[in-house]
Amino acid sequence: MLRRLTEEKLEEILEAGIAEFGEHGLAKTSMNKIAARAGISVGVLYKYYEDKESFFLACVKKSILELDRTLSETIQKEDKLLQYAERLIEALQRHCREHPSHIRMYHELTSSGAAELVPGLAQEIEGVTARLYSGIIDRTQREGKIRRDADPKLFAFFFDNLLMMLQFTYCCGYYKERFRIYCGTEPENMDTSIRKELLKFLESAFTLKAKDITH
């Protein structure tokens, strides 16, 4: 009779899967490699998950829950848009340090051949942040705290693009090298400067109207 694994071990197995999917993508990752990385037999893995796809979806769900927790804790306090942005940037920098494999798996998902999974996963992964950012921008716009000529949904999309690229910069090889080319060092060495300069960039985007730009 199979002894039921502890919750801690199940979490460890999911983290092993996230690391494998992040490094090799869905197509090139095998259940055998995941089991070996987690220190269990592949038979045990199949006792809990029907196939690689169902295990992959469980890994994605775990990653979404972790990010959800990070964002929820960050936006609990109502504040001005730039204060929200600063807290989000800092929280994502911390999230990247604590969960780099999660970001790499997300990056692999955006560029992999798992086309049949993308529509459902994109809605689940992006839906929360899309509603969150659009809502914050729409509310602060109605309160007259940011420029009124902006489309909240498009601004939210552009804002999320910046935060997504920031996460890739901390965790994914090509983007880390790209940062080194521009800045001459690792992004981890410039946490504070990255926050400050990105906030300056956002401040101009959220507050300056075309008629106010003098150059």
Residue 151 lies in a domain: yes
Residue 192 lies in a domain: yes
- The domain of 155 spans 60-208
What six digits make up the tokens of 97? 């340090």
What CA–CA distance (Å, rounded) separates 101 from 96?
9
Give the chain's domain count. Answer: 1
What CA–CA distance (Å, rounded) separates 27 from 210?
47
Residue 120 lies in a domain: yes
Q: Which residue has the higher pLDDT, 139 or 128?
A: 139
Residue 50 lies in a domain: no
pTM here?
Answer: 0.87
Residue 9 lies in a domain: no
Give the Å distances, CA to CA, from 28 to 17, 21, 112, 116, 182. Answer: 12, 8, 10, 16, 32
Residue 31 lies in a domain: no
Q: Sorting pLDDT into bands at 50, 70 and 90, what band is 1?
A: very low
Q: Which residue has the higher pLDDT, 63 or 121?
A: 63
Closest CA to 19 of 35, 3, 4: 35
CATH classification of the domain holding 75 = 1.10.357
Residue 202 lies in a domain: yes
